[in-house]
Structure 1
Amino acid sequence: MSPLLSIEQLTVSFTQYERGLRRREIVALAGMALTADRGQVVALVGASGAGKTLLAHAVLGMLPPNATQTGRITYDGRPVDATTRRRLAGRDIVLLPQSVDYLDPVATIGRQVRRSAQLAGHANPRSVATTALAERGLGDEVLKRYPHELSGGMIRRVLVTMATMGDPHLILADEPTPGLPQADVTGVLREFRTLADGGRAVVLITHELRGALGVADTVVICQDGRTVETTTPSAFTEGRLRHPYTKALWQALPTNGFTVPEEQPC
């Protein structure tokens, strides 16, 4: 059986025009590969600028007009072009954004969550919104608050609630934990594990390797727009890593002494 999402040799370049109408191509992704199936958390790990968020936008069909994409993306066993992926976005496939800026700063949390419930087709958006937030430990008082009145952890729970209101099959979680206290990080990551255990596929886009290892089934390491290694969490602790860049990420963690391997990443 085919995985829910399969990405093979994905490349993305952008056309830019300089002074004098000189044209140049900027290659942002140069060979990304990833598979994710129902019941799995797949962690896509790499430094800032490695192409993680761009991959998510490509899956959603959200690339700008000056982008050129090659490679193969299949969903539920079928090749899907950008138009089809845009139709799936917001329903079968959802993006959990990394920024609170995706929330309306002048609308209450209750209004925004109810709107998500309405767009998802729920007959009683008010009741559904209240229940969904309560399931994530957020009481009725949150409904009347504005985004700036909530903590980072509470905002993440609101975003997860809104993203999953339509019962999506695939969730792309883009950098969901930066800036959060450790207790909130643990809670957010546990939520993704729960979503996967409930039958969804979760692609966790992050540069926080240690947290990802605690919830992921598969870890995909990317560097400079390329997938350099796909492995399991146990490979890190058992010394079975192959690529120099993966080894460098692992050895540079505080718990590993911030050490740098003699063999530098290529």
Structure 2
Amino acid sequence: MLEVNHLSISFLQYEKGLKQQQLKVIKDLSVSVHSGEILAVVGSSGSGKSLLAHAILGILPTNATTEGTIYFDGVKLTPEKKEEFRGKEISFVPQSVNFLDPLMRVGTQVRNAARGASTSAQRKAFERLRLAKDVEQKFPFQLSGGMARRVLASTAMVSGAKLIIADEPTPGMDPTVIKEALKYFRELADSGCTVLMITHDIGAALEIADKIAVFYAGTTVESAMVNDFSGDGRLLRHPYSKALWRALPQNDFLPIPGSQPLPYANLPGCLFEPRCAFATTECRQDEPKPREIRNGIVRCIHAT
């Protein structure tokens, strides 16, 4: 249903004076997800998760340059196709509540975002996410942060879209509402919809996802089945995926030393090499190419 091939995104920026530079923030990123699947995209802040969503939707800023191809349901997403599908075939649950129009009542916003969804469908979605009936008549400034996020999540429920992109859909919600929202995403996938869920919450991803893609410094370092994220992480293939898994409080709670490289670092080899305990001289020379290993995809020359 969705296939992203070798996506790169650069931003034109000015240095001192009028000198320009292209800052590449996503490099050779590839992911794919089939109809009826949920793909969870995880990784630290700044790894390119939200930019992937914006590239699919065609809402990147004007100073952005993209390379690579994106296909949706077999159709290449040109700028014209992105505009055509956005809000109809492709529904977006944004991360920031600032996407809500401060001058429009939220019930109307949800129906408009879903390109004319019925009032009954909107009210049913609000009820499921534990939003009182009178909330539809409120303006965004009258809502708490958690309520605003539930309003945003409800747009996916009423859209009827083939692809739902949910960018951090659960922060600020109480556990009961989180469980209900995740359950609904799973139900949508089981009915044939495709869900791309961007999240920091690996625990939430494990509850409903079929596959997990791990992003690091603007590229995909591993794509794995959800069952590989278990035990001590030995089924995982990339050192960063294993370190991310072991850093969780319910596991070893071990911090990962160092920090993610900035886009202008221009490292010639593996982007994780400066932080990797298993790095060799070869890791510093060339960027590893994605390889298929044990029914997963990994960028690491030492993965087995």
- TM-score above 0.5, yes or no: yes
Note if 1:202 corresponds to 2:199. no
Give the unaligned 5+ runs of structure 1.
none
Partner residue in 1 for 2:25: 28
- Tell me if 1:76 matches 2:69: no
Q: 1:144, CA displacement in angstroms?
A: 2.9
What TM-score, normalized by structure 1, do the two folds share? 0.87
- Distance in 2, matches of 1:116 and 1:27, equals 31
Deviation at 1:182, TM superposition (A): 2.9
Structure number with greater CO (CA < 8 Å, separation at least 6) is 1
1:231 is aligned, of 211, 215, 224, to 224
Instruction: Name the amino acid aligned to 1:42.
Output: L
Percent of aligned pairs sharing the same letter: 41
Q: Judge conservation of contact 2:128–2:180 (CA < 8 Å) in 1.
A: no
**Residue 238 of structure 2 corresponds to which residue in structure 1?**
243
Q: Secondary structure at the match of 1:193?
A: helix
* Coordinate RMSD, CA, aligned: 2.3
d(CA) in 1 for partners of 2:160 and 2:24? 35
Number of the residue aligned with 2:93: 96
Structure 1 residue 175 corresponds to structure 2 residue 172:
no
Aligned residues: 259
**Shift in CA distance, 77/56, structure 1 to aligned 2, threshold 3 Å:** same
**Structure 2: distance between partners of 1:162 and 1:143:** 12
CA distance in 2, matches of 1:96, 1:224: 23
1:111 paired residue number = 108
Q: What runs of 5+ residues in structure 2 fail to find an aligned partner? A: 258-272, 280-304
Query: How far off is 1:47 after superposition?
Result: 0.3
More moved, 14-23 vs 55-64: 14-23
Aligned to 1:157: 150
Please state whether the residue corresponding to 2:173 is helix, strand or coil.
coil
Judging changes above 3 Å, is the alpha-carbon distance between structure 1 residues 116 and 229 closer, same or farther for their aligned structure 2 residues?
Answer: closer
Residue 52 of structure 1 deviates from its aligned partner by 0.4
1:54 aligns with 2:47: no
Find 1:145's aligned residue among 116, 126, 138.
138
User: Does residue 254 in structure 1 map to residue 249 in structure 2?
Assistant: yes
- Do 1:29 and 1:51's aligned partners in 2 also have CA atoms closer than 8 Å? yes
After superposition, the C-alpha distances for 1:169-192 in whole angstroms (9 at most, x for unaligned) are 101100112233333332222221
Question: For 1:115 and 1:65, how far apart are their aligned partners in 2?
Answer: 25
Structure 2 match to 1:214: 207
The TM-score normalised by the length of structure 2 is 0.77
Which position in structure 1 is the counterpart of 2:183?
A: 190
Q: Distance in 1 between matches of 2:191 and 2:146?
A: 22
CA distance in 2, matches of 1:102, 1:8: 28
Is residue 247–residue 261 contact of structure 1 (8 Å, CA) maintained in 2?
no
Q: Provide the rounded CA distance (Å) in 1 between the counterparts of 2:128 and 2:255.
A: 43
